[in-house]
Chains A and B, each alone.
Chain A
Amino acid sequence: MDTNESINKISTVGKIVIYVVLGIWTIVNLFPIYWMFTFSLKGNDEIFGDNMMGLPRHWLWKNYASAMGTGNMPLYFLNSTIVAVATIAIVLIAALMATFAITRLVWKGREMMNRFFMLGLTIPIHSSLLPVFLILKKLKMLNSYQSLFIPYAAFSLAMGILICSGFMGDIPKDLDEAATIDGCGTWKTFFLIIVPLMKPAVSTVGIYTFLQCWNELMFANTFISTGKYRTLPVGIQALSGQHTTDWGPIGAALVIATFPTLLVYIFLSKRIQDSFIAGAVKG
């Protein structure tokens, strides 16, 4: 009895410690969101002055009006969304297919191919700016959605394949064999057996890809020269001037760019997290 009680006591203390740690970490991670929001309602005098962290003394809601009134933010938002969705779709299709070929099909050179794809993780994006620009020019693709989502997809692909192979490798091989015996061809096995089991990979790859393309600035600024295809980061950057920058509207624009993704994430997170648990079909 005594020992049991003491164990319980320790675990209660342990629980408190755990929740305190988690609580502190929660505050640390929520702080940027609070700060971004207050930042968006301040003027330069408060942002650079003695009120860098506190609530705004003057709530400048007009920052939102000037952020929205600059350029064409709704269009930029739409463009960013189109590019992100297309990029995620391409990365998922290409990564799942390539991973299937590498991990499930038997052929010589699959190890080599795996390593080859790893090369994609190593490339510093800035060094490819000019070469990719020249290639896109050759392909007559500058100033279009594909001039962004194709490079974005290529840059996210290596990580996509890496993540997918981490998850696909865990799916027991007998599943394919059973499917083959049941008369499923390679393609049927892929689409009907493997892809449905890859939900956790799909979520993680999707999130990774989204992060890569949503905030990308350099390609978007260089490959797009017409307002029609301009994306959000470029639109937001256009809020700063050569010698003077009014930071409040930039904060407001960043809130406009970030909060929808936060909300979508919160709404989707249950499904995303469910997908992780759904992936637990192995053993």
Chain B
Amino acid sequence: MEGIKLMNKKITNRINVFLFLLPALVLFLVILIIPIGLSGYYSLQEWNGIGAMKFVGIENYKKVFSDSVGLGPAIRNSIILAILSTFVQLPVSLGLALLLGKGIKGERIFLSVFFMPVLISTVVIGQLWLKIYYPEQGMLSVLLSGFKIGGKSIEDGIVSWINNMNAKLPIPKPPYKNVPWLGNQYTALACCFIPILWQYVGYHMLLLYAGVKSVPPELREAAKIDGATDGQINKYIVIPQIKPIIKICVIFAVTGSLKSFDLIYVLVAKPKVADVPSTVMYNEMFSANNYGTGSAIAVMLIVLCFVFAMIISAIFKKED
């Protein structure tokens, strides 16, 4: 009797597991897993995306690192972004979340305002930053030409730095008088990163704030009575409590950085100036009609993101 009951329970449990997973699994298989399979298949073909395919084996994977496609520098750029995102964007977000989560006057207003950039369409953010980076009359140029160090404005400093770099070109390029922020390979990448990092501070902050708020107030109170400072409370009580959420933020920031596309595409339309894997992939697939090569980049990007996500999970598990 007991045995049958246990068996029944086991079976019910299995059925339950299956039923609970069913909606997510169906969505995953149909929309995500089958396309990954197809991308894998396309990546082994020479294909323009429309006509007949020709099997070429791993040729596409070799090709992506050539100079003409240039995935190598693109991956490097996106890893830089991932690092900045983890070590600059997230600490800022965490700082804001801790500050607001502690309960200060106007907490809710600040929270709402800081989240707003996330709600604004990338088109608007892109256009705004295009104006900020407009050479000469743009906000950044005006601001930086106003600040002077030793009689030389910061913008002039950057101009002469770029002109020095350009002097090494095979053909003497006429010197710049102003910085075309998005039009040269020395500043374009950094200029793309700033709005990307800025826009999503609010999102991470909100996630972390939700975590901070779910730390039981009694813990905080108790620590305060013991004479702990705010810093100590944050370090020893709050942060350990919200570790699962920090992990989510790190994974989101890193995979998001590796896949970043929209803003860079709006700000720097031209290849080679500020490439990231997604822009290279998009260019290969839809501009150069090298669908096979593009798919190879997609597969590599999936592997890269997955490996990073696993590493991050492992690091957080180890710390526990």
Contact = CB atoms under 8 A, between A and B. Distances in A.
Q: Give the contact-size bracket for chain B.
A: 35 or more
B47 to A, nearest CB: 10
Contacts of B31: 128, 132, 135, 150-151, 154-155
Contacts of B252: 121, 159, 162
A128 B259 contact: no
B261 A126 contact: yes
Q: Give the contact-size bracket for chain A.
A: 35 or more
Interface in B133-163: 134, 137-139
B32 to A, nearest CB: 6
B214 A124 contact: no
A107 B17 contact: yes
B118 A211 contact: yes
A45 interface: no
B214 A276 contact: yes
Contacts of A135: 30-31, 34-35
Most-contacted residue by chain A among B33, B134, B210, B214 (CB, 10 A): B210
B21 A126 contact: no
The binding surface of chain B is classed by DSSP as helix
B39 A128 contact: yes
B275 to A, nearest CB: 14
Interface string A126-144: 1110111011000100000
Contacts of A236: 123
Contact of A131 (B39, B104, B278): B39
Contact of B32 (A50, A120, A262): A120
5 contacts: A22-B106, A30-B113, A154-B28, A155-B31, A166-B245
* 5 cross-chain pairs, A with B, having the tightest CB-CB distances, nearest first: A127-B298, A154-B31, A122-B305, A131-B35, A101-B20
Given A154-B28, A233-B121, 8 more contacts: A36-B128, A105-B13, A119-B28, A124-B298, A127-B301, A139-B30, A166-B244, A276-B213
